[in-house]
Chain A
Amino acid sequence: MNFSEKSSLPALFSWLLRHALAPSYRESALGDLAEEYKVRRQASVRDAFKWLCHQTLRACFQWLNRAAGSRMLIVCSLSLLTVFVVPTVYLMVVWLSNMDAASPALWEPLLVGDMHKIVVQAEFWQVAIEATSGSQDLLMFIHVEAVLWVLVSVFALVLKQNTMTSHQLAGAGLILMLLPYVWGLLVLSTFPPGLKLIGPMLAFMLFCLLYMVLPLTWLVLQHRRRSRRIESGI
C-alpha cells in the first residue's frame, strides 16, 4: 500500500484540522475523518463536503474554546485588566480631584467624556503622576451611585451564573462594567450638560470600571473552578 499521500482530505481542511485537533489524538482523528469522508463521498460528494466543513468548523471552535478557556489565559486576561484599570482609574481620579487647569488636549476630550483618549496621551500620565503628590483621601474613591450599580450588577450575575458558561459570564460582566462608561459617552457627546454635572458623570463612569473589575474577576474564576469540577464528575 502506498501511504505517501498522508491525508485523503482536501488540503485546506487537512491543514485546519491538523492545527485544531489536540496533538494527543490528532493522527487517529484525522484518520477517522479521512475514512468517513471517503465513505460519504461514495454516497454524495456534496453532502460529504458539507459534513467535512461541519466537522472542521467544530474542531476549530473546540480549539478556540481550549485556547480561550485555558485557565492561564483567563487569569492573564483578567490580571491584565485589573493591572491596567486600577492604576489608570486611580490616577485619573487623583488628577481630576487636584486639577486646577488642563491643557486643551486634555480638557476638550474630558468635556465629552472621552477619557479613553486622554489616557493614551503622555501629558496625562505626567500630570497625573505629579498630582499624586497633592491631597488624597479615601473619600475621593467612594462613589455611592457606582457602588449601587456594581452591587446590582454583581447580584444579577450571581443569580444568572448557573445558566451561563464562564465565557458568557465574563462577557456579561464586561458589558455591565462598560455600560456606564458608554452611557456617559453618549450623554456627554449628545446632550452636553453644564460643567457642574460633568464631574459627577465622569466619576460615575470611572468608578463603575474600578469597582467592577475585582468582583468580576473573582466571579469568573470561581465559576471556572466549579465548571471544571462538574466536568470531571466531582
Chain B
Amino acid sequence: MPSNEKFLGEFEQVVLLALLRLKEQAYGAAIRQLLDEQINRDVAIGALYSTLERMEKKGLVTSKLGEATAERGGRAKRFFSVTAAGEGALKRSRSAMDTMWQGVSVFSGVNPL
C-alpha cells in the first residue's frame, strides 16, 4: 500500500458505513438517526455535515440534492453516497484495524467464576 494513502478517522469510518447501510436514503437526518439507534451516538447535525463535507472534498463521498418537502420547511434533502475511493479507504482502515487486533485479547471485566 502506498505510504501516502491515508487512514480514516473513527467518525469518518462510522459515517461511511452508515451511508453504505442507508444506500439511496442516506441524508443528514437519516444518518443521524441510524447512528443514534445503532451505536447510541447522538451526533450534532453540524458535526455530521462538516465531516461529510470534508469527505466530499477528499473524494470519498458525493452528494446530490433531492426534492424539497413541506415537513423540511421547503428545504431539499442532500443525499450522500460513497465513492469507489471511499470504499477503498474503508477497506484499508478495516484491514489495518484487523491487523492490529491480531493477538490482542481485551479483558472484558466479567468474572468467569
Contacts and interface: CB of A to CB of B under 8 A. Distances in A.
Interface of A: 1-9, 20-22, 24-25, 27-36, 38, 54-55, 58-59, 62-63, 231-234
Contact of A233 (B9, B32, B47, B73): B9
Contacts of B14: none
A25 B46 CA distance: 8
B14 to A, nearest CB: 14
A22 B50 contact: yes
B28 A28 contact: yes
B20 interface: no
Which of B46, B68, B69, B72 has the most A CB atoms < 10 Å from its CB?
B46
Most buried by B among A1, A32, A233: A32
Interface of B: 6-9, 12, 27-29, 32-33, 42, 44-47, 49-50, 52-54, 65, 68-78
Contact of A29 (B28, B68, B74): B28
Main secondary structure of the interface of A (DSSP, over half): helix
A116 to B, nearest CB: 39
Contacts of A6: 73-75
A34 B73 CA distance: 7
24 contacts: A3-B68, A3-B73, A4-B74, A6-B73, A21-B45, A22-B50, A25-B78, A27-B75, A28-B75, A29-B45, A29-B46, A32-B32, A32-B72, A33-B45, A35-B69, A54-B42, A55-B44, A55-B45, A58-B44, A58-B47, A62-B46, A62-B47, A232-B6, A233-B7
Residue from B28, B32, B65 with most neighbouring chain A CB atoms (10 Å) = B28
Given A36-B29, A62-B46, A31 B9 contact: no
A58 B46 contact: yes
A25 B8 CA distance: 22
B71 A59 contact: no
A2 B68 CA distance: 11
Contacts of A36: 29, 32-33
